[in-house]
Structure 1
Amino acid sequence: MAELVLVTGGSGYVAGWCIAELLNRGYDVRTTVRGPGKEESLTQAVSTVADPAGRLTFAVADLLADDGWDAAVKGVDRVLHVASPLGITAGDPAAMIAAARDGTLRVLRAATAAGVKRVVMTSAANTASPSSYATEGTTDETLWTDPDDPTLIPYRRSKTLAERAAWDFMSGHEGPTELTTVLPGAVFGPILSTGTIGSVGIIGRMISGSMPGVPRIGLEIVDVRDIADIHLRAMTAPAAAGERFLATGEFTWMREMAHFLRDGLGPHGHKVSTRQIPDFAVRLTARFRDPSLREITPSLGRRNRHSTDKASRMLGWHPRPAKQTVLNCAQSLIAHGAV
C-alpha cells in the first residue's frame, strides 16, 4: 500500500506543488484546509499537473485552533507542515508570531501522538541569516537568526520563533517521530491556479507595468517545483532526520529579473520597467507615502547569501537556474490570465 502523507495548508502555493509531486510519485495525500468549500478548486488546480483521483482527501484544521488536528494525522505515515499564517494574520505581527509558533506545535503534538514517522517543516532561509542587514558573505544552517533583533520584520521573526519552537519541542520527545526542516529562499515558478499565486504576484506586477521601476534588492530565487522536490527528499532520506536544509537558488537582483522578463517574453515583456529606483527614493516613499515599503528598506543593497552545499551533499538536491524559474513563472501567469 502507498504511504499516506499529510500536507498542511493545501490551498497554499508551495503546498499545492508538494501535493502534486507526492501524487506523481505514487503517494496518497491528505491535505488540510481551514474550512469546507475549497476541496473542488484545489483538486482542479492539482489535476493540471497530477492525477488526484481516489488519492487526494481533505481534513479541516486551522493553525489557530486545536480542533481537527488529531483527525488530520490519523493513519498518516509522514507530514509536510507547509502551512503559513501569513495570510491568516495579515497586519497583526503578534498574531502572526503566535499562529506560526502555536500552529507548528499543534501539528507536532498531533503527529507525535499518532506516531508519524517524520515531519518536514517549511521554515525560511531568513531564519538562518545574520541579524545585521549590512552583513555580506555566505552563511549556512548552523547560523540562527536572532529573534530579539528589533530590526526584524514580523514575518522573519515568526518563522524563526516557529522553527525554534519545533526543535525545542522535539528535543523533549522520545517517540519514533523525526523532524526535518527546509529553509527556502524566494519562491517563484509556475502557478497551479490564480487562487494559489503566493509570492509570485511581484512578477505579475512587473509584467503588467504597474511597477515603474525596481528597488536595489537581491533575491535567492528558487523554483517552487524544486522546493516540492526537496521536501520529498527530506521526507524520505534516512540521513535527513534531525537536520535543517537551506533551499535557496541563484542570487539575482530585481533589475536582472526585469531584464529576464523584458528580453525573454517577447511582446508580453514590453511593459516591464528595468529602471533602478535609487535607495533614497525607496526610503522616502516608505517614510512618507507607502508604509508597506518599510519592511523592504533594510534589504536594499544587501548581498548576504546562503549555502546549499548540505542539501546537495546529503540529498542530491540541485535547483534550476533563476532565469528559467522567472520566465516559467511569467509564462504561467500569462497562460492563466493572471496578468
Structure 2
Amino acid sequence: MKKQLVVVTGGSGFIAIHIILQLLGQGYAVRTTVRSQAKEEIVKEMLMNGGITDFTDLSFSQADLTSDDNWEETMAGATYVMHVASPTPKLNFKNESEMIRPAVDGVVRVLKAARDNGIKRVVLTSAYGAIFGGHKNRTTPYTEKDWTNLDAKNIHPYQKSKTMSEMAAWDFIRKNGQGLELATVNPVAVMGPVLSAKYSHSNVQIQEMLEGKIKALPKVNSGYVDVRDVASLHILAMTSKKANGERFLATTGETLSMMDVANILREAFPDYADNLPNKLLPNAVVKAAAVTNPKLRMIASIVGGYAETSNEKAKSILGWNPRSAKTSIIATAQSMIDLGIVK
C-alpha cells in the first residue's frame, strides 16, 4: 500500500522538524519545502539527532512563500499539507507591511496550490499572537474564540502578521476553498528539545539565561508548550474529522513569569545557577529601552500583560494531553547543553 504523503512547509523550522519526525515515525511519507539545498542537510542532521536513520520516505522541494514557482509540483500526489513556514520576523523593518504582506500572501499562495491539487486538509500553524493582542483588562483565560484586536494601539507587527494571515486563510476557505478543509494550531511560547546547533530562535532566551547574558528579567508572563506536543496536536488536527474548520490553542494552560523559568533552570541545572538572573526590570525601564532597541519592542508591548490560556478545546475534542511547562523548559536547556550550544 502506498503511504499517504504529507507536505510540510519550511522543514528546517523548530516546529516543522518535530512534525516531520512524528509523521515519519507514524508511517507517512513527507515532502518538505526548503528555500535552498543547503537547508536539506540541516533537516537531515536534525532528523538524525531525533532518531531517524532511514530517509526513504522523505523528499524535498525548493519553494518559497514569496513566489509561485514550484508549488504545483510540491503538492502533487499529497493528501495533507502542514503549512508551518512563516516569513522570519524582521527586527529593522521600514514599515509593518514588510512583515504583514509576505505572511498573508504566503498563506493564500499555499492554500491556492493545495486546493488546485486536490489536497484534503491544510493545517496552518498560526500563533497565540493571533489571539491575545489588544484586549484590555482581561480577567478570563484566552480561548480559540478570541482574536487579536487589530485596531488596538501597540500591536506588534509580528502579531499583526500572524492575525492577518490566519484571517486571510479562513477568508480564502469561505470564499474560494471549494471544499478544501482547514484547521489551525495557535501555540504559545514553544519550548522542548532542540535538534541542532542551527536551531530556531524562538527559545534563544533559555540559552542566553544559561550563559549569563541576561542580567535582569522583564515582568512578562507567558504560556508555554512543548514542541513535541505542538507537533502531535498538528497531526491530530490533520486526521480528526472533528478538527475541520477549528482553531486549537496549543498551551499547557499554565502561566509562568520569566523569573519562574529562571527558577526552574536554577533548580534543574545547579552548575549554571550563578549565571541565571534573579533581578526584575521595572516595566517603565523596558518600555523606555524599546524606543531605541528594536529587539525589545515585542517584549515592551506585552510587559505586565494578562496571559492566562485554556487548552480545554484541544483536550476535549482531540484528546490531546501535553506535558508540563517545567518538563519542556528543562528539555530545552538539556538539549542545548548536550549539543554544546550553551557556551
For Structure 1 versus Structure 2, the TM-score category normalised by the shorter chain is over 0.9
Q: Is the 8 A contact 2:91 2:294 kept in 1?
A: no
Q: Percent same amino acid at aligned positions? A: 40
**Which residue of structure 1 lines up, in the alignment, with residue 287 of structure 2?**
283
Matching of residues 164-313 of structure 1 within 5 Å:
164-173=167-176, 175-249=178-252, 250-287=254-291, 290-313=293-316
**3-state SS of 1:306 partner:** coil
In structure 1, what is the Cα distance between the partners aligned to 2:255 and 2:314? 17
**Which residue of structure 2 lines up, in the alignment, with residue 74 of structure 1?**
76
Q: Is the 8 A contact 1:125 1:248 kept in 2?
A: no
Q: Is the 8 A contact 2:131 2:142 kept in 1?
A: yes
In structure 2, what is the Cα distance between the partners aligned to 1:166 and 1:29? 23
> How many corresponding residue pairs?
337
Deviations 1:49-92 (A, max 9, x none): 242421111000001111111111111110000001125x5533
Aligned-CA RMSD value: 1.5
**Which residue of structure 1 lines up, in the alignment, with residue 63 of structure 2?**
61
Letter in 2 for 1:283: K
Shift >6 Å, 4+ stretches: none
Q: Which moved more, 1:64-73 or 1:145-154?
A: 145-154
Instruction: Give 1:303 shift.
Output: 1.9
**Which residue of structure 2 lines up, in the alignment, with residue 111 of structure 1?**
114
In structure 2, what is the Cα distance between the partners aligned to 1:221 and 1:277? 21
Q: What's the TM-score once normalised by structure 2's chain length?
A: 0.94
Letter in 2 for 1:45: M
Residue 160, structure 1, aligned to residue 163, structure 2: yes
In structure 1, what is the Cα distance between the partners aligned to 2:50 and 2:209? 26
Instruction: Give 1:202 shift.
Output: 0.6
Q: Is the 8 A contact 2:131 2:144 kept in 1?
A: yes
Deviations 1:246-293 (A, max 9, x none): 111221100000001111112133311121122222223223x53431
In structure 2, runs of 5+ residues without a counterpart are none
**3-state SS of 1:312 partner:** helix
Instruction: Give 1:242 shift.
Output: 0.7
Q: Is the 8 A contact 2:222 2:307 kept in 1?
A: no
**3-state SS of 2:218 partner:** coil
In structure 1, runs of 5+ residues without a counterpart are none
**3-state SS of 2:255 partner:** strand
Q: Given the superposition, is the C-alpha separation of residues 134 and 291 from structure 1 closer, same or farther in structure 2, using an over 3 Å criterion?
A: farther
Q: Is the 8 A contact 1:137 1:303 kept in 2?
A: no
Q: Is the 8 A contact 1:23 1:50 kept in 2?
A: no
**3-state SS of 1:119 partner:** strand
**Which residue of structure 2 lines up, in the alignment, with residue 23 of structure 1?**
24
Letter in 1 for 2:125: T
Instruction: Give 1:44 shift.
Output: 1.6
